[in-house]
Amino acid sequence: MMPQTTRTTTDATVLGMGEMGHALATSLLKSGHTVTVWNRTSAKAHALVDTGARIAPTVKDAVASSPLVVTCLLDTASVLEQLEPSVDALTGRTLVNLTTATPAEARDLADWARRHDIDFVDGGIMATPDMIGQPGSMILYSGDALVIGRHRPLLEVFGEATYVGQDPGAAALFDTAMLGAMYAMFAGFELGGRMVRTGGGSAAELAAMLTPFLQAMAATLEDAAKLLDEPGVHEPIQSVEFTRSAIDLLIRSAEGTGQSGELLLATRALLTGD
């Protein structure tokens, strides 16, 4: 392991040593890359010193240390707050933003980067920190395909690097669409768990039965996608009338256990246009 005091340049810099940034930096170090890290609360960055990471005292120093800078901070505002004062050091380098953003925020960040001659790629992490560098970890990327191609071997360390388009907002679009679907699923489980518990059942029992059921349902998403992608071409498996009546029954059942039917009302509106 090279003593950090003798090294001033590294393969990549990771800004943000929260749960995810720590996992990203660690995976790069494990794969043999040299890494500079920075965190606002410096103790979290210093926790990596034994792994061989170079600890940068400032954002400017961190940015100037590597040709590739990865940001994994709380939100887009914190990314700009930290990068703006060091923008001169970032010019001519590549910025890969793995901070969750809205598509509009990612596009604005891309515009900001372009104005400062920074090669920019936006990414959406479809994994939890413990999955980084493991099979099953997927990161969505969008922006300049040439820039992504140039850094692909390093980016593949985090997980499968999936390119979703030239629009810098595309990764955030797919990311937030997928996270929205995930949260809707967890909300459905929360409601179902509360319902079965009023009848003496447990959420654990529900989870055991629901998991294979949802896996089977997930297999039908490709058919559901055809209805959205080619409206008017395909017939829904269930009619709108059937869906409306079925969800009304579910609302009555939820309310009968003392739970709110709001989630199902919103679901019915989305699926039937009511």
Interface ranges with ligand FVH (CB under 6 A): 16-21, 39-41, 44, 72-74, 78, 81-82, 99-100, 125, 128-129
- The whole-angstrom separation of Cα 194 and Cα 172 is 32
| CB nearer ligand FVH, residue 75 or residue 111 | 75
| DSSP string across 135-170 | TT-EEEEEE-HHHHHHHHHHHTTTSEEEEEESSTTH
Residue 202 burial by CB count (10 A; 0-12/13-18/19+): exposed, middle or buried? exposed
260 to 107, 183, 207: CA distances (angstroms): 38, 17, 20
Q: Work out how close the CB of 190 gets to ligand FVH at its nearest, in angstroms, rounded to a whole number.
A: 19
Give the residue with the Cβ less far from ligand FVH, 106 or 210: 106
Task: Give least dist CB 96 to ligand FVH, A.
Answer: 13
Closest approach of Cβ 101 to ligand FVH, in Å? 8
Q: Which residue has the tokens 């017939």?
A: 235
- The residue at minimum Cβ distance from ligand FVH is 18
In the complex, the smallest distance separating the C-beta of residue 9 from ligand FVH, rounded to whole angstroms, is: 23
Pick the closer one to ligand FVH by CB: 5 or 41.
41
Q: Taking the complex as a whole, how short is the minimal distance between the CB of residue 44 and ligand FVH, in angstroms?
A: 5
3-state DSSP assignment of residue 241:
helix
Half-sphere exposure of 14 (CA within 13 A, CB side): 29
Based on CB atoms, which residue is closest to ligand FVH, 80 or 250?
80
* Calpha distance 27→19 (Å, rounded): 13
In the bound state with ligand FVH, the residue whose beta carbon lies nearer, of 67 and 129, is 129
